[in-house]
């Protein structure tokens, strides 16, 4: 009986050490994946900021065009340095977004990550629509 007990104790120790080794291996993999997901998340945050800047620049371009069309009756911007400066800035934003997106794809390929491993996308979230009841500005026929 003592031999059986000794064998059982030895097997338990062996199983325990194997379990510890496996746990260490799994935790190392988890840490590595977490690091890569963090890198991707940081890049996605950068992309979101670039997209915000891009949206603001589009608004600036729209305001610029509207002002010139209204005030100067100008709709041809050939030779207008400010117009082409804004267009160049928009092109640079597009290039930056492409570079950042390629970085994400590179990390995903290098570490064999799937899109399902990453739980959010870089597309803009839909903006909340405000109903007339929530808005402080009401149509003219309701402002009485």
Report pLDDT digits (tens) over 39-96.
999 999 999 999 999 999 999 999 999 998 888 888 888 889 999 999 999 999 999 9
For every residue of 15-45, DSSP letters joined together read HHHHHHHHHHHHHHHHHHHHHHHHHHHHHHH
In a domain, 25, yes or no: no
In a domain, 139, yes or no: no
Q: Which pTM does this prediction carry?
A: 0.63
In a domain, 21, yes or no: no
Structural contact between residues 43 and 103, judged by C-beta atoms closer than 8 angstroms: yes
Tell me the residue range of the domain where 52 lies.
40-112
In a domain, 101, yes or no: yes
User: What is the tally of structural domains in the chain?
Assistant: 1
In a domain, 53, yes or no: yes
Structure tokens at 104: 């994400």
In a domain, 95, yes or no: yes
In a domain, 132, yes or no: no
In a domain, 11, yes or no: no
């Amino acid at each position: 009986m003592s031999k059986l007990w000794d064998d059982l104790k030895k097997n338990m120790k062996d199983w325990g050490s194997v379990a510890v080794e496996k746990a260490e291996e799994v935790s190392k993999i988890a840490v590595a994946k977490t690091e890569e997901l963090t890198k991707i998340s940081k890049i996605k945050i950068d992309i979101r900021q670039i997209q915000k800047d891009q949206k603001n620049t589009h608004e600036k371009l729209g305001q610029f065009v509207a002002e010139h069309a209204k005030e100067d009756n100008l709709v041809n911007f050939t030779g207008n340095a400010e117009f082409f400066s804004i267009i160049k800035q928009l092109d640079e934003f597009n290039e930056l977004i492409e570079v950042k997106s390629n970085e994400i794809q590179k990390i995903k390929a290098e570490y064999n990550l799937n899109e399902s491993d990453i739980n959010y996308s870089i597309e803009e979230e839909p903006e909340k629509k405000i109903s007339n009841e929530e808005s402080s500005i009401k149509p003219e026929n309701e402002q009485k």
